[in-house]
Structure 1
């Protein structure tokens, strides 16, 4: 299903917090009406601080049990004939549905059809076409059948209709920000973007553009005829059977999907796309992007055939569909969507050839591909069981990184995802499989994705690879082209392993929360260490867990490991290590989904960094030293050694810490030579860029010639860092000339280097440049640029403050990404003295529907309100 992204990069959080602090020092005059509204909001903030009250209020809103939808009919086949009204943004359709009663006799047929005009509804029989009486109330059609149909009967109905997807749009969720089902992009052709149509069916939104049984526990074959302007390409599920030129400037493409899948996975994409032809064995594996990104797409998606081969091998189930296409569209309402044989991606994957050098999109590509098995081939029977789709797709990212990049990269990704879940858990703890929820969109959270993936990781590590993947194979083979619930997954594992796994599935899939483990190691008997672990989670809300875990230590450079099982609130374990041990590691590989608390100190982390063979353990050690002991005088040696670490992320972290501590630079032997070597030759471009930043701090004059050379590097990471380093040095007298050489760049890493220089040096006459760049950015690039945009115009009012304010307000009002709206809101604070700006910021806050975005806006408003109301 849609790929979940971290909504706020860590840098963004720092910017938010710094903005809060900067707001506290200013005093502004406000009118009484504004003060009254601010007081009201401030009271609401304080009330919302009590999470227990919030949780109870949430529980009181939860209504019905959300189980699997009752299947009165089986949908066997759907045939659609579609054309499009771009002016009104309507779909003109004819649908022919073939169905049969599932078991019980039926005398009426109920179909999902949201916001249609129904023109005809008829029954197709050998003797001809018979109009049916029906009732329609905007969401469902109830057709009255001429006789009672039994389970042995088959009926075919035809519906002529006009679908109006823009009517009654919904709010969506964190993963899917809108619910129109079908989207016209730049239908008028007047905007600075291509004309496109694309669909997004999950959860139950495809019934916004064709009548169906819009539920995941339905499976059917389909065919779609699309009549479009002949300049457009169409892409849909299955195989393109024919293209017919109609003689009026249009063409009708006939797509056939002859393997059954759920209605939410049906998809259509229409637009002008370049086609990059690829394959895996004899299977078509094509990529579709706008023409200017054709070369970049070859790099971005190049690993797809290898991914298909890898997943087919480890699952023991060959890729099950007719082909696999991937297309990048504009203004997508999710990260990506795994429609059967056709995954659709957000425009952030539109990269030119140079940007694609540093493409980091393999995770999302693997995620959507894995859904072709887990989600499409075998599908959750209800949204309550969504984790059966999303946990597997999330875990596929780990599997791919482990295979392609190595375990260290995979483990770092694993811990990052764990932190995503733990962050959400501070405000929300719910069952992974949850039948009681208000709206199915609520299921698309970090529980279903990140927590689910971590649970699968623990199950794999507990059972071992052979048992884990053989169980997945059994699950897929047993339930091919059908729908499942969580017990089907448990039974598959039990069938293969012979073990009763209720204990694991009950505590992890069917209960909320996670363990909080406090542990102490007693080293008083070095030959037999004692480990005491206490589960400190609230047992009124959270289970007492049964947790298989590992301890490890190093003996003469060799790693030793033992496994134990924790199943009591407080438990002591004799390690019986025999040989004296000074440092014991509990869960060294960070496999357990838990919060762990212990009294490890600086010496422990120095030892851990020095001896652990696991990259993630060395990463944790270095991170802990940098975060908790950065002012210690004896860490230079450790961070200097980290520059030689084989794990790129550790090298990068070491560079960041060394940049913060100039006093270490004299203590690290050969530092300057090592930095230069890293900037020139490190295999990771992010490490190269970090090395350049340290060199800029160390001796900017000496390395200015190198910065000029590195500005031409193929990687934007490297070029952007070099450009920034050069422009920051006031001794470079040609900075204005150098900056203007790069003003036509589109990549945000180059743009922010220029923007920072223009702001810091108060370079005038750059207002038009800022406006032009803002217009052509989107997503994370827009997010990072917005702060510079606001800073320039607030510090240079002669460049056009009023226009800048209106643009920020428009982005804060209309941008689909919540973190971009927050960045625009933040930037408006730089103009808070200007007439009407306070009212605009208040309006943005009051109209914000996303709870996470609203919470971040509070970071700005609260200190400002405190100052205004309590001067």
Structure 2
């Protein structure tokens, strides 16, 4: 690199550097009085901010206020002084009448109208919009509003009230909220009072007495039922629409146990006065951890029967854990976002380990690691980074999945006692403060007495991950030699220091030794004494690393048969698939104590299981397995490979309390021939079901058999279905009208166009967009696509080539 190029690179780095927000003023308290104009979808507000210069004397106050009409600004003292200001639609620059010092406290009142929908959009994969406050239309013609809710992360709360919208700010606040009288409101802190107004509205007064970051201010308002719960005198509320009240008791039912577990684990009791959880429509993220009131996407709206198979404990634990890591102790800048999100991600592992056992937690975390590796194919950046373009860029699988895995390695290196004492010290030392990555390192060093610069430098402050090649030499039976080499690109990734474990089994006992790789290539002597034929590198799958080695069928058989770790047996079973499975291995896998291995065997070794004569074992799993997912997969296997007629069992299983089981059995009924009941009659008897696991088998059957007269039913279902269920239904919906155009093709096309252009979730827009390609030969459809997505070449639209689809995704 030449001198000019080097200088240009250094100058660009300086230009791209994102510092922590500078603190000219310290925001102390915000009094917010707002009325929601549901027709205009605006906010009529009065904000009184109490603040003081942070250190240096100040004569100008700059506030974040995005897309407001600012009516007046006044300084409140013994009199009220109107202030001059300049406003550019994003920043409100207020000229103070004199220079104030850090000994002075000011009260500034702003009257305004906020227009949240102006200039919104351009969010991220994690937070898909930047509107800050959302008016959600009712079903039907959509002219009425059924809910209003907020989403302030990262700097979007200044879309509805003026503030210093930075994560290193911290203040108390009060919120007076004017809403229709029949609505329920939920916000931070305590509901102090409710006052009915003469115009049919009601004013609710909420107060938050402990300081927190402005992005965590929130409310939700609408027609919600409240399910009451409590933990150690702390009130808990689960807010859902009335139809889902019974389901919410199950969906959120583990919250008291989570509070108890996390409080004990951290040695810091849940630090807030209450905890509410609200499920809203059309949320722009999975969930958001606003202090004392987490808001969740609509997928958590579940009936009592649907909630039997709820798989949302992970996201519920995630948002709850944020109330320690993110709300109680808050990242000082978005560059340090992993101090919020890595911990919340790791809470999922902690909870699953506590509630379902380590095997389930390990498998969940392997999935998280693979999400990071997938992202790392295109993007490798530091966890703590100061050169991102937009705040939203930080919300990626580095900050979440990689960050959580790094914490898991830190815990494994320090040991549980030091790790959790370190977290206690960190939380206690920095309670109600903002932090950066070095605060975490110093806390862990203070408790453990270990130097951790090397660990934080390579994992938090560098890019990439290790790529390891492991070679085993068994030529000396009593002293296996293990050679490990690092093969990652050292131009972009560090040469890592990697503590790791080697393990082996002898006489039914597990043995292990810990080593440290601190070279590019290093050899380790196991000194195992007893002869062994299989040594396992990182058997428990702790390391965030790509690993390669030369292993054979016998090695994987031994690993599957003897490993104590479910995730290791799971890996071995996958590897054995390339060789073909013996009857003994399949029989063992179908009876494995880890449900995921039983399920995996059924999914991937279907015909081989049949050839091995294990159909009776599969029927047993379908009838009696304690895991509903395994039961459903076993039924799927019987439908696909079963030689016996299971019609009578399907008739019983389709009435099961689990939709997983019932949906699989319905597919069986619509495939088998032994019931004596016409399949069309069977299908019609389930059309009132609203669960996607029952709808999909019906839609698939109607399409496969070209059953006429089902267009109206499908139009109704596509209009009623939301969230992830809608995503799964879209393809089946489109397929029916492709093969049955007389049933209402253009109505289907119009519905898909609406979803492709207006759906909140990008994955739904994509599914609808792709489904439209099935109709391009219909008159007018090509014109609709061109009108919506631009005048691309006809052939590229017809073929759906990636260069046409993906620019659209990038923009949305």
Q: TM-score range by the shorter chain?
A: over 0.9
| Residue pairs, 1:274-313, within 5 angstroms | 274-313=225-264
Deviation at 1:862, TM superposition (A): 5.2
Aligned twin of 1:342: 293
Aligned twin of 2:41: 89
Aligned twin of 1:108: 60
Q: Secondary structure at the match of 1:67?
A: coil
Aligned twin of 1:587: 538
2:744 is the counterpart of 1:800:
yes
Aligned twin of 1:686: 629
In 2, Cα distance between equivalents of 1:285 and 1:213 = 30
Q: Deviations over 1:121-179 (max 9, x none)?
A: 00111x22111111111111111111110111111111111111011113111100000
Aligned twin of 2:4: none
2:588 is the counterpart of 1:641:
yes
In 1, Cα distance between equivalents of 2:591 and 2:438 = 48
Deviation at 1:843, TM superposition (A): 6.0
2:724 is the counterpart of 1:780:
yes
Aligned twin of 1:702: 645
In 2, Cα distance between equivalents of 1:672 and 1:202 = 52
Deviation at 1:61, TM superposition (A): 11
In 1, Cα distance between equivalents of 2:774 and 2:141 = 32
Q: Which stretch has the larger CA shift, 455-464 or 809-818?
A: 809-818
Q: Secondary structure at the match of 1:353?
A: coil
Cα pair distance change 1:754/1:316, threshold 3 Å: same
Question: Do 2:283 and 2:760's aligned partners in 1 also have CA atoms closer than 8 Å?
Answer: no
Cα pair distance change 1:252/1:401, threshold 3 Å: same
In 2, Cα distance between equivalents of 1:839 and 1:506 = 54
Give the alignment partner of residue 65 of structure 1, picking from 17, 40, 49. 17
Aligned twin of 1:655: 602
Cα pair distance change 1:496/1:103, threshold 3 Å: same
Cα pair distance change 1:859/1:641, threshold 3 Å: farther
| Residue pairs, 1:432-471, within 5 angstroms | 432-471=383-422
2:553 is the counterpart of 1:602:
yes
Deviation at 1:806, TM superposition (A): 1.9
Deviation at 1:210, TM superposition (A): 0.4
Aligned twin of 2:691: 747
In 2, Cα distance between equivalents of 1:734 and 1:246 = 60
Deviation at 1:608, TM superposition (A): 0.7
Aligned twin of 2:480: 529
Cα pair distance change 1:552/1:192, threshold 3 Å: farther
Question: Do 1:609 and 1:619's aligned partners in 2 also have CA atoms closer than 8 Å?
Answer: yes
In 2, Cα distance between equivalents of 1:728 and 1:827 = 26
Question: Do 2:13 and 2:387's aligned partners in 1 also have CA atoms closer than 8 Å?
Answer: no
In 2, Cα distance between equivalents of 1:683 and 1:296 = 21
Deviation at 1:818, TM superposition (A): 2.1
Cα pair distance change 1:195/1:862, threshold 3 Å: closer
Deviation at 1:398, TM superposition (A): 0.2
2:30 is the counterpart of 1:78:
yes
Question: Do 1:62 and 1:437's aligned partners in 2 also have CA atoms closer than 8 Å?
Answer: no
Question: Do 1:274 and 1:288's aligned partners in 2 also have CA atoms closer than 8 Å?
Answer: yes
Give the alignment partner of residue 317 of structure 1, picking from 268, 272, 275. 268
Deviation at 1:105, TM superposition (A): 0.4
Cα pair distance change 1:159/1:812, threshold 3 Å: same
In 2, Cα distance between equivalents of 1:215 and 1:827 = 41
Aligned twin of 1:667: 612
Q: Secondary structure at the match of 1:195?
A: strand
In 2, Cα distance between equivalents of 1:571 and 1:802 = 66
Cα pair distance change 1:140/1:608, threshold 3 Å: same
Question: Do 2:116 and 2:133's aligned partners in 1 also have CA atoms closer than 8 Å?
Answer: yes
Q: Which protein has greater RCO, CA pairs closer than 8 Å, 6+ apart?
A: 1
Aligned twin of 2:760: 816
Q: Deviations over 1:572-601 (max 9, x none)?
A: 111111111100100001100010011112
Q: Deviations over 1:736-760 (max 9, x none)?
A: 1111110011101000111111111
Cα pair distance change 1:680/1:84, threshold 3 Å: same
Deviation at 1:821, TM superposition (A): 2.0
Cα pair distance change 1:837/1:490, threshold 3 Å: same
Cα pair distance change 1:248/1:819, threshold 3 Å: closer
2:42 is the counterpart of 1:98:
no
Deviation at 1:833, TM superposition (A): 2.1
Q: Deviations over 1:181-202 (max 9, x none)?
A: 1111117984399611100000
Question: Do 2:338 and 2:403's aligned partners in 1 also have CA atoms closer than 8 Å?
Answer: yes
Deviation at 1:247, TM superposition (A): 3.1
In 1, Cα distance between equivalents of 2:802 and 2:363 = 35
Q: Secondary structure at the match of 1:225?
A: strand
In 2, Cα distance between equivalents of 1:61 and 1:768 = 58
Cα pair distance change 1:710/1:189, threshold 3 Å: closer
Question: Do 1:86 and 1:188's aligned partners in 2 also have CA atoms closer than 8 Å?
Answer: no
In 2, Cα distance between equivalents of 1:187 and 1:83 = 19
In 2, Cα distance between equivalents of 1:439 and 1:556 = 57
How many residues are aligned here? Answer: 793
Deviation at 1:657, TM superposition (A): 2.5
Q: Secondary structure at the match of 1:646?
A: coil
Q: Secondary structure at the match of 1:728?
A: coil
Q: Which stretch has the larger CA shift, 417-426 or 769-778?
A: 769-778
Cα pair distance change 1:820/1:213, threshold 3 Å: same
Aligned twin of 1:618: 569
Q: Secondary structure at the match of 2:801?
A: helix
Cα pair distance change 1:844/1:488, threshold 3 Å: farther
Instruction: Identify unmatched segments of 5+ residues in structure 2.
Output: 1-7, 806-812
Deviation at 1:665, TM superposition (A): 2.0
Aligned twin of 2:123: 172
Q: Secondary structure at the match of 1:74?
A: strand
Q: Secondary structure at the match of 1:527?
A: coil
Instruction: Identify unmatched segments of 5+ residues in structure 1.
Output: 1-55, 849-855, 866-871
The root-mean-square deviation of aligned C-alpha atoms, in Å, is: 2.2
In 1, Cα distance between equivalents of 2:685 and 2:110 = 60
In 2, Cα distance between equivalents of 1:664 and 1:697 = 12
Deviation at 1:321, TM superposition (A): 0.5
In 1, Cα distance between equivalents of 2:362 and 2:456 = 23
Q: Secondary structure at the match of 1:198?
A: strand
Cα pair distance change 1:172/1:825, threshold 3 Å: same
Cα pair distance change 1:688/1:451, threshold 3 Å: same
Question: Do 1:825 and 1:857's aligned partners in 2 also have CA atoms closer than 8 Å?
Answer: no
Cα pair distance change 1:838/1:327, threshold 3 Å: same
Aligned twin of 2:364: 413
In 2, Cα distance between equivalents of 1:449 and 1:509 = 12
In 1, Cα distance between equivalents of 2:654 and 2:396 = 41
In 1, Cα distance between equivalents of 2:377 and 2:120 = 31
Q: Secondary structure at the match of 1:330?
A: coil
Deviation at 1:826, TM superposition (A): 2.4
| Residue pairs, 1:319-398, within 5 angstroms | 319-398=270-349
Aligned twin of 1:502: 453
In 1, Cα distance between equivalents of 2:13 and 2:458 = 25
In 2, Cα distance between equivalents of 1:824 and 1:248 = 42
